[in-house]
Structures are given as structure tokens and as C-alpha cells.
Amino acid sequence: MIDATPMPGHPIAWAMVGGGQDSQIGPVHRSAAQRDHGLQLVAGAFDIDPVRGRQFGERLGLDAQRCYADYRAMFEAEARRPDGIRAVSIATPNNTHFEICRAALLAGLHVVCEKPLCFTTAEALQLLELSRASRRIVGVAYGYAGHQLMEQAREMVAQGELGEIRIVQMQFSHGFHSEAVEAASAAARWRMDPAHAGPSYVLGDLGTHPLYLSQLVLPGLEIERLMCSRQSFIGSRAPLEDNALALMQYRGGAMGYLWACAVNSGSMHGQRLRVIGSKASLEWWDEHPNQLRHEIQGRPAQVLDRGMDYLHPAARQEDRIGAGHAEGLFEAWANLYRRFALAMHATDRGDSLALGKIRYPDIQAGVEGVRWVENCVRSADAGGVWIDYR
């Protein structure tokens, strides 16, 4: 049970790039990072408008001198301080992730980055190399991965409770963009603009979430071939898609289906992971994260609840309150940030044994997300053909 008493070696001095005024995701990062006192916000370059950014930082109680005009100034100034930041989170539009992440690693900082890391696999691999060379971690904000029942699913798969894995269904399909809301919403608009969003909308913005869940739960799966079909039901969104379906053939013959959609009218999130094995299936929906359905062929379907003694220890160690009480997305994020903070500390003290035990969406996960979108776009743009995954 996490009881919010401090973790040894923490908090780590931390800053944000982006996530200022009117950002939805900024408060989530700050709440999660500081929930268990793993990180502590001491600096920031919150806004493209320096004045607004500084005012925002001051409202958060930061020293005005540590509210910077941009990330370059911040990394440089903080490096000169004895109490300077050791970690930074990047919550800016997609097109800036690569350069900020790269600069942060070059500045010797640990990084937590919003997905996607960047727009091309080549760039992602550069960051991977840089992360290794600089001995700094990069955590990726796949927040749903912090839900504890994903650990339960991973353990059940690992222990063979599902048998041989045959089919993986992934879905993130909401309806909030069924109409051209981007005309009135800046937050929606940049996501549909290739210059800011990159080569895809729903594949990257939505699809990589359940994709990462599948990678977390099924670490052995490797995509061999893939085909993707994408559409822009609101025509002005082209070339970016608001609906896409990807089929994956994994090495060994299992199949994966991923549906990402922003025009699924009337649906809330619609994020789901279903793993089908030769003996049993697991199913989980992010809107009801405290329940995991376990369906053994020939036996009554079961519903597992977070916090219960029958769960694997790995699915219990981040409990914050007893079973029956609803934990939500903020707890999942806090779990992730807790692991990021633990991984930073283990890295800093060179404790590779400890580091190896901390599971979190890391730079490799970030690379894989970028690679997957790239392959999907390559297939879709070739007319929805099967391609060898690379």
C-alpha cells in the first residue's frame, strides 16, 4: 500500500516545458509527479508566451527566476545552479517533442515526454542512443499503463493462464470529434494539423495507448506484418485520419486488431484491451479501470477487482486504498510517475538491479510507438496493403 510517505532519495528537482495556462494535461503531470513526493516542481518554461509562462509559474508558487522564457534558457540556467533540476517533463505540441527531448538529454536531464516522442523512427532511435549514452531515462506518458490491473493481466499471461496467445484486440474510439469541432477548439485543431501533430491523428494520439498496453501485457509479441486502413470522415482533416483500423500479424501467427477512432459518435473513451488465448481471455476497459474480466473457456466468466487478495502481488503494490473504492486515472498517472522517479534515482546511483525491476513505459516503448505509427501510415498510404514491419 502506497502511503505517501516520502521515498528515499526523493523528491527530485523537476521542471516542465509546456503544460501552462489552459493546458489540460499540465495539471495531470503536476498532480501525478508530486503525489508521492517523487518529483518536486521547482522550475518551468510553461508557455510559448514568456510573460504568461512566468506568471503561471509564479501562481504555482515557483521562484520567478526559475520561470524561464524557453526550454533552452531553462536547461542552461538550471545547469549552473547547485540545486538545479535533474528531470523535466515535456507537455508541448507534438512537433516540438524531439528537439526538446534531445536538448534535455544533452543537458543531462531525465525526461518524461508526452507521446509521440517524435515523428520518425530514425529520430526516435537517435533519442534512444542519446538516452543510453547520457545514462538518463526517458519515460513516456502512456498514463493508462499505470492502472494496476494491467500488471495483473501481464502476470496472468506470463504464467500461462491464457494458454497460447492468439488474438489481441485494441481499441480507443471516442466520438468527441464526430463533427468538425476543431473549427472552434484550438486544443483539437493542432492535433489534426500535420505540421504540429505529425503523420497521423488517431493512430498516434489514441491508438498508441492501447498499443502500449498490449506491449506491456504481452512482452513476447513481435509484429511481423501489418496493414492499415485509414479515413478522414471530416474531409478537411485529410491527410490526417479520424478513423483507422490496423491488422497486425505477429511472429508465430497471432493476430492483432487495433481500432482508433475519433468519430465513434456517442462513445466516451471506448478504450479496450482484449487478449485471447487458447484457454482464456482477458478484457479491460479504461473507463472502469478497477475491473478486469477473465473468461476461461468452458467456465463461468469472472470479474477481478482491484485491491483484492487473489491478485498477484505485482498488481497490489501500488494500492492506495482498499478494494471497492474506485481508483481512477490520476492514481494510474501517479503510479507511473512514482516509477519514473524510482527509475531516475536507481539510474543516478547506478543500481541496475533495482532499475531492472521497475517497469515503466521507457524510451524503447517510445520508439515502438513511433515505429508503429510510421508503419501504419506507410501501409495506409500505399492503399491499405500488407507490409513487412520494420
Quote the CA–CA distance of 115 and 105 in Å, as a whole number.
16
Q: Which stretch binds a second copy (CB under 8 A): 118-126, 190-198, 242-250, 336-344?
A: 242-250
Task: Say if residue 323 is exposed, middle or buried (CB neighbours under 10 Å; 0-12, 13-18, 19+).
Answer: middle
Minimum distance from residue 100 beta carbon to a second copy (Å): 22
Of 32, 19, 27, 16, residue with least CA distance to 330: 32
Per CB under 8 A, 310 contacts a second copy = yes
Q: Which of residues 117-156 bind a second copy (CB under 8 A)?
A: none
To the nearest whole angstrom, how small is the minimum distance from the Cβ of residue 154 to a second copy?
A: 17
Stretch near a second copy under the rule CB under 8 A, chosen from 107-115, 124-132, 213-221, 245-253? 245-253
User: 39-45 and 87-91: which strand pairing?
Assistant: unpaired
Using the rule CB under 8 A, give the single segment among 206-214, 266-274, 345-353, 356-364 that binds a second copy. 266-274
The residue (of 73 and 326) whose beta carbon lies closer to a second copy is 326
Question: What is the C-alpha to C-alpha distance for residues 63 and 351, in angstroms, rounded to an integer?
Answer: 33
Q: What is the identity of the amino acid at 96?
A: T
Let me know: does 76 contact 65? Beta carbons within 8 Å. no
List C-alpha distances in Å: 268 to 20, 125, 178, 288, 329. 26, 34, 12, 12, 15
Q: Which of 106, 122, 183, 385 binds a second copy (CB under 8 A)?
A: 385
Is residue 331 part of the contact set for a second copy (CB under 8 A)? yes
> Taking CB under 8 A as the rule, does residue 257 contact a second copy?
yes
CB of 164 to a second copy, least distance (A): 8
- Binding of residue 31 to a second copy (CB under 8 A): yes
> Cα–Cα distance between 234 and 305 in angstroms, integer?
39
Nearest to 25 by CA among 90, 93, 91: 91
* Range 38-97, binding a second copy (CB under 8 A): 56, 59-61
Instruction: Give the end-to-end CA distance of the chain in Å, rounded to a whole number.
Output: 41
d(Cα 385, Cα 390) in Å, to the nearest integer? 15
DSSP helix/strand/coil, 308: coil
Stretch that binds a second copy, among 24-32, 94-102, 108-116, 118-126 (CB under 8 A): 24-32
Task: Give me the least distance between CB of 322 and a second copy, in Å please.
Answer: 6
Residue ranges of alpha helices (H) inside 43-134 are 50-59, 71-80, 97-106, 121-134
What's the number of CA atoms in the CB half-sphere (13 Å) around residue 165? 28
Specify the residue, 33 or 90, whose C-beta has the smaller distance to a second copy.
Answer: 33
Binding test (CB under 8 A) with a second copy, winner from 213, 276, 365, 377: 276
- Of the candidate spans 71-79, 104-112, 247-255, 345-353, the one that interacts with a second copy by CB under 8 A turns out to be 247-255
How far is residue 90's CA from residue 132's CA, in Å, rounded to a whole number? Answer: 19
Binder to a second copy among 13, 30, 44, 87 (CB under 8 A)?
Answer: 30
> Do residues 198 and 94 touch, judged by C-beta distance below 8 A?
yes
Q: Does 314 bind a second copy (CB under 8 A)?
A: no
Q: Pick one of 26, 84, 361, 369: the residue that binds a second copy (CB under 8 A).
A: 26
Show the binding pattern over residues 171-200: x = contacts a second copy (CB under 8 A), - = does not.
---xxx-xx---------------------
Taking CB under 8 A as the rule, does residue 317 contact a second copy?
no
> Residues binding a second copy: what is the number (CB under 8 A)?
89
Q: How far are the Cα atoms of 44, 74, 219, 220 from residue 70, in angstroms, in the given order?
A: 8, 6, 38, 41
Between residues 77 and 387, which has the closer beta carbon with respect to a second copy? Answer: 387
Q: Does 326 bind a second copy (CB under 8 A)?
A: yes
| Closer CB to a second copy, 130 or 145, in the complex | 145
Binding to a second copy, residues 198-237 (CB under 8 A): 227, 229, 231, 233
Q: Using the rule CB under 8 A, give the single segment among 2-10, 65-73, 191-199, 370-378 that binds a second copy.
A: 2-10
